[in-house]
Structures are given as C-alpha cells and as structure tokens.
Structure 1
Amino acid sequence: MPHTDLLSTIPATMRAIALLEPNEQIELSELELPVPDVVDNELLIKVEYVALNPVDACFAKQGFCKWEYPHILGLDAVGVVVKASKGVFPSVGARVMWHGNIGEQGVLSQYAKVPNFAVSQVPDEVNLKDAATLPCAGMSALVALDKLQLTEGDSILIEAGAGAVGQFAIQFAKQRGATVFTTASKRNHKLVKQLGADVVFDYTDKKLSDKIRKELGPQGFDAVLDSIGGETTVRNVELMRFCGRIACLNPLPKFEQELMYRRAPNIGIVSLGGAWLANSLCAQQRMSFMGNLLLDNLASGNIKIPQISDVEFSTKSISKALNRQIDGGFTGKQVVKINHE
C-alpha cells in the first residue's frame, strides 16, 4: 500500500480498552482517545492483534506504580507502521511486533506508538496473529535461558512446562542440547513431550520432590527456570546442585540462611519491563533482536507456538480473558483481534 494511502486513513481518535482504576474484578472501560502523536524515532502502528499475558491481569488487579489512569492495558502487539519520520526504519507499510513499555500506555487500542529500535519486522511468511504470541513469553524464555548460561549436556527443570513461557523454554532448551525436566498437569504431559521434554512430572503430586530426586539422581539440576515463585522457588533451590543456577520470573521468597550456604545458588531475575524502567537503550534493542530470533524460528518451523484462543475487542471479553489468565490451568495464548471498523 502506498505511504500516502496509509497516512490519509489515520483518524483523529481511536477506540481503546482501559482500566479506570485497579480492581479485583478487572472491570474495564472502552474509551475514545486521540491517536498518539509520534516524533523523532517513534513509529505509529495500526494495531492488528494484541496477546494477553498473566502480567496484564496481575497489574489490572493491583495497579502499577508508573501508571496514570485511565490506563490502556496490553504489552504484546503486532501491526502495520502507518507513520514514521523520514529515514526512520522500519518504514511505513512494514509489519512489526513488539513488547511494549510497562511504564507507559499499553496497546489494547486501534493505534499505538513505539520507538523504532524496539520493534521486530515480521517476515511475510509469518501470520500476524501467530507473531502476537511470541513477545512476552518467548522473550522471557530466552532471557531466562541466557541468564542460566544453558549449554549442551546441562540438566534443567522448567516449571509449568505447558504454560506459554514453559512451552517456548522447552523448545529452546532442547535446541541448546539440554536434558529437559518439566512439571505439568497430567492432561498436558503429551503436549510437553511433543515439544521435547525428556521427563515430565505431575505438579500436583504430593511426592513430587522425592520422584524428581529418584529420576535425577543425587547430583541435582544444573539449572532451573522458575515461573511459579514462593515456596516452589525454595523447593527448587533445594533440588539444585551446589552453585547451580536459577532464573526467577516472580519475586523471591525469604530463604533460610542454611539453604543459601548449602546450595550457594546463582539467582537471576527475569524482567522484560526492566528494560524500559531502567531506561536501558541496549536492553530495549535486545528485545528487538530477541523478537527477530523468535520470528526466524517460527518462520523456519523450528518452534511451535501455544494454541491460540480468540478474544473479541470488547471490555467484557477482555476482562473475562484476563481473569482466565490467572485462574490457573490455562496453557495457550489469548489473542485479541483489534477491530478497526
């Protein structure tokens, strides 16, 4: 489509799904807001799809210290560049994917702005809806595996293997030559096995730790990707070898001093939002590079994406979907198709 055609179709206002204030029920409002202005290296994107994440639901309930209300929710989006300054790449007409700035307005709107260095260009052979599933879960998995310095021959425990982060982590861990242990409900054992998991445990098993030790032997895990937190993190440190490595996606619990001395774990924290909150240009650019890696793997058939559930662009549907994200047992990705009519 010619650039002039795209520019001529940009309206003055847009529909957006916003949070008027944090609330336990995640009650949302539809607002008519001005289309964002873009300057310098910013891109104006016509948003096509937005993928929902547990973090969206958690902060909708609790709020976030950097938010101003009403706050547009959503962090993961794909769409088409409709406005960019001369010489800024990607140019008008490009299809892009990104994980947004948690400290600013989100992407559940018909248009959004984002710095050009934080987006990844979507290859023609990749469906935009499929691409929307990648940013938060895929990037979190990659950051975690990098922090774990995972190499060929390592043993790794990936918690919640059927969750979106877990599904990507299993596949990339196998690419790196690791032996993958994971936890999942019995109904999802077949799924995680198909993704490459070598050994699967039922996370509801009351003798889980004993069964892991029996399967693993006395040496303990080289690495753990912990997406659960709390007492699960304490248990996982206990299951690691001395000076093993653990990457945590949730706040750390209080550890007993004796456990820290006995295991001396290398603890890494995974925070995509930190790339924005720390104002780290390098970290923001790295998200673009990780996005390219995810898209290349998807285009080449080297990774499979979680099963997609479609969500309507309405307050009721999105509220229901966000509550579903944290009710437990959800294994796919919920994707909102943004309605431009």
Structure 2
Amino acid sequence: MFEYHLPESQQVWSWQGPGQLELHSKALVAPQAGEVIVANQVIGLNPVDWKMIERGHPDWRPGHIPGVDGMGIVVARGAGVSLPLGSRVAYHQWLKCDGSFAPFTRLAVGALLQVPEGVASEQAAALPCPGLTAWQAQAKVPDAGQRDVLIIGAGGAVGLFLVQLAVARGWRVWVTAAPRHHGPLSAMGVSGSFDYRDSQWSVALQAALGERSLYALFDTVSGEHARNLAPLLGYNGHLVCIQDRLEQAPLPAFGTALSCHEVALGSMHDHASAADWVQIRQAGRQLLEQLRDGNLTTPALHLDDYANLPRALAAVKAGQGGKWLIKVDHAPLTVHSDQEPV
C-alpha cells in the first residue's frame, strides 16, 4: 500500500504576463475522474516553454503554471484510474492546463508514459517533447528502402533524437549542425555533416549525393526556411516542418510532386483519438526502452535546482546546448512493507 499526504498548496513558478515568471503559492487541486497527481522529480525544459512565457497563450491567465515536460511519481488518483500509486511516469502536458513548473502536476492519466525500470529519472524527463516530436516527424514518411534524408538542425534535442530514429530505419542520413556536433553525429551513423553557416553547404550535399536525390527533408528552423530548401528534394519527396508549417505549396504544381507534412505534438491534446493516444503511449514506451537498452541517447544533460529554474530557462533560450533539467526535492514518500521503496 502506498501513502502520500498532499499539501493544500505549493510553491510554483507561475506566469504573471508576457515575459513574467514568478514564484508564488498556489492551491493544489485534487485529481478529478480520469486524472492523477504526479509528484515531479525532474522537470524537462524546452524551447516552447520560454516562447509561451514571452508570448503568452490565449488560455493563460496570471497565475498559470507553464511547463510541458516532467517526470515523477503518481501520488494521488481520481475516480476510474487503475494506474498504481507509486508508478514512475513521464509526461507531455497540455498547454491549456497547469504544467510541470511545480512540485506537483495534475494530469489526465491517458497522457502518462510509464517509465521502465532501469531508466534514470533524468533520462525520462528529457524525452517527452523532443523524443515524441522526432518520432512523429519520422513517422510522417513512408518506408521506401535505403533512401537519403536530410535533417536540418541535428545538434538540437529534436534533431539528435531524429537522427537516431532515421539511422535505425536504414536511411542514409545527412545533417546540418554546428561543427562541434559533427564527430558525435558521425559516430551515430550519419553519412555526412554540413556546417549550416557555410553558404555552400547545399552544393556540397548535392555533390555527395551524386545522381541520387533526397527522399525526405526534416526542417527544425521555420516554415520559410523549409520552403527555401524544398528544391533539394527529389520526385515524390517529403518535406517535414517540425517548427512552424507551410501555408502554401513551396513549389509549382506538376513538378517534383513533393508532399508537405506538419508536426504539432501539442495538438494531440486537442485532437488525438483514443487510438491515437494508444499509439503515442506505445511510441513513448518504446523510446524509453531504447534509452534503457542504450539504443537511444539523450543530448548532454544539465541539471539545476528548482530555485534556479528561470536561470536554466534562460540558458535554453540562449541556445547553450544540451538538455536542461530541473530537480525537485520532496519529503520522503511513505511506502508500506508490501511495496518496494519508491
């Protein structure tokens, strides 16, 4: 039997208006039917976090708790939830709901990824947003044997996960990234890396391809950036926008007949069906198992204290590299003798 006594309120990092993040006390609401409370152990920081804090969100009001990613222990559950208390879980939270920048987060049970034994808490917290985004991106492209694909921005968290998934699919993977990433990317099986700051990198890529053409291009910069790269794709190629989207076809009709794909992980909370959620959770479980087995690696992890969350978020905004995480300290969890300590 698992016991945990929830506090009535908690000290949270709350949004008070565009660009304003402050530490405040906020009441902790009990879980409703189909919901759980997770005691966060590690919070994962992502670019979407600082962007939303700066821009705001239509559904946010002063006092909203930002943060989409976290990992922790299920300490309370609402009606209809069978997931055992004490379960280790990771999650990607709906932007409309209070998020992970808090000791406790209330979540829909269907959004949880159960963390396998052997996966470190830091690894699990680093996965949801970039890992599931990378999985969605590569899943947009059908299997077509050993083909050439290009990943723009492979030095970032999404790009790094995407490289590993693409290599595992048997694709010949080409990337753009800062030179400091080229060695590690080559060790992952990348066929060639190009410095995005070199104005002739696309010429060098085409020379390396020879008579072959690109089957897919994954862009992590912007819709306009992706549009400008569309001519690099061959006939029936796939242009996947991970950051932003294309509102209009980038090339004239009846040309290379490329397909354009939008990746929007957060939209799953609004539009995913029950079957979609099953697939998402299965994908998350597989990614976590790959981390456990050493077949998938995270970016370099940087761990900071809860009190320093704004400073760590500023490092994410500044593009200092790696994956920034926040550790959350809790009072020891109470576990009876019929359950292993959590």
Q: TM-score w.r.t. structure 1 length?
A: 0.91
Residue 256 of structure 2, aligned match among 251, 254, 263? 263
1:65 maps to 2:58: yes
1:322 maps to 2:334: no
Specify the alignment match of 1:39 in structure 2.
32
Matches within 5 A, 1:53-92: 53-85=46-78, 88-92=81-85
- Do the aligned residues in 2 keep the contact of 1:36 with 1:111 (CA within 8 Å)? no
Distance in structure 2 (CA, Å) of the matches to 1:263 and 1:336: 46
| Aligned-partner residue type, residue 323 of structure 2 | K
Matches within 5 A, 1:29-178: 29-85=22-78, 88-178=81-171
> How much is the aligned-residue C-alpha RMSD, in angstroms?
1.9
Deviation, 1:111, is 0.7
Deviation, 1:255, is 5.7
Specify the alignment match of 2:334 in structure 1.
none
Partner deviation per Cα, 1:190-224 (whole Å, 9 max, x = no partner): 12112221111111101122111111124421011
Q: Size of the alignment, in residue pairs?
A: 331
1:337 maps to 2:333: no
Deviation, 1:310, is 1.2
1:19 maps to 2:15: yes
Partner deviation per Cα, 1:17-56 (whole Å, 9 max, x = no partner): 1110112xxx310111111211222111111111111111
The DSSP-based 3-state class of the residue aligned with 2:123 is helix
| Aligned-partner residue type, residue 312 of structure 2 | A
| Aligned-partner residue type, residue 76 of structure 2 | K
Distance in structure 2 (CA, Å) of the matches to 1:207 and 1:99: 38
The DSSP-based 3-state class of the residue aligned with 1:28 is strand
Structure 1 unaligned regions, length at least 5? none
- Do the aligned residues in 2 keep the contact of 1:148 with 1:223 (CA within 8 Å)? yes
Identity %: 27
Compared with structure 1, are the counterparts of its residues 91 and 192 closer, same or farther at alpha carbon in structure 2 (3 Å cutoff)?
same
1:184 maps to 2:177: yes
Distance in structure 2 (CA, Å) of the matches to 1:202 and 1:160: 10
Compared with structure 1, are the counterparts of its residues 167 and 101 closer, same or farther at alpha carbon in structure 2 (3 Å cutoff)?
same
Compared with structure 1, are the counterparts of its residues 153 and 320 closer, same or farther at alpha carbon in structure 2 (3 Å cutoff)?
same
- Do the aligned residues in 2 keep the contact of 1:151 with 1:178 (CA within 8 Å)? no
The 10-residue stretch of structure 1 (65-74 or 305-314) with the greater mean CA deviation from structure 2: 65-74
- Do the aligned residues in 1 keep the contact of 2:230 with 2:251 (CA within 8 Å)? no
Partner deviation per Cα, 1:80-133 (whole Å, 9 max, x = no partner): 011124662321011011111122111111111112122111112111111111
Partner deviation per Cα, 1:172-202 (whole Å, 9 max, x = no partner): 1111111100111111111211222111111
Compared with structure 1, are the counterparts of its residues 134 and 150 closer, same or farther at alpha carbon in structure 2 (3 Å cutoff)?
farther
The 10-residue stretch of structure 1 (135-144 or 296-305) with the greater mean CA deviation from structure 2: 296-305
Specify the alignment match of 2:297 in structure 1.
304
- Do the aligned residues in 1 keep the contact of 2:149 with 2:217 (CA within 8 Å)? yes
Compared with structure 1, are the counterparts of its residues 287 and 170 closer, same or farther at alpha carbon in structure 2 (3 Å cutoff)?
same
- Do the aligned residues in 1 keep the contact of 2:227 with 2:250 (CA within 8 Å)? no
Deviation, 1:230, is 4.1
1:10 maps to 2:6: yes
Deviation, 1:68, is 2.6
Partner deviation per Cα, 1:123-165 (whole Å, 9 max, x = no partner): 1211111111110010000000000224430211011111111
- Do the aligned residues in 2 keep the contact of 1:167 with 1:195 (CA within 8 Å)? no
The DSSP-based 3-state class of the residue aligned with 2:269 is helix
- Do the aligned residues in 1 keep the contact of 2:124 with 2:288 (CA within 8 Å)? yes
Structure 2 unaligned regions, length at least 5? 332-342
- Do the aligned residues in 2 keep the contact of 1:237 with 1:263 (CA within 8 Å)? no
The DSSP-based 3-state class of the residue aligned with 1:273 is helix
The DSSP-based 3-state class of the residue aligned with 1:224 is strand
Distance in structure 2 (CA, Å) of the matches to 1:339 and 1:175: 37
The 10-residue stretch of structure 1 (218-227 or 80-89) with the greater mean CA deviation from structure 2: 80-89
Distance in structure 1 (CA, Å) of the matches to 2:251 and 2:38: 52
| Aligned-partner residue type, residue 129 of structure 1 | E
Compared with structure 1, are the counterparts of its residues 256 and 14 closer, same or farther at alpha carbon in structure 2 (3 Å cutoff)?
closer
The 10-residue stretch of structure 1 (110-119 or 135-144) with the greater mean CA deviation from structure 2: 110-119
| Aligned-partner residue type, residue 326 of structure 1 | K
The DSSP-based 3-state class of the residue aligned with 2:243 is coil
1:238 maps to 2:234: no
Distance in structure 2 (CA, Å) of the matches to 1:176 and 1:158: 14
Distance in structure 2 (CA, Å) of the matches to 1:180 and 1:213: 13
Q: TM-score w.r.t. structure 2 length?
A: 0.91
Distance in structure 2 (CA, Å) of the matches to 1:260 and 1:58: 35
Compared with structure 1, are the counterparts of its residues 258 and 235 closer, same or farther at alpha carbon in structure 2 (3 Å cutoff)?
closer
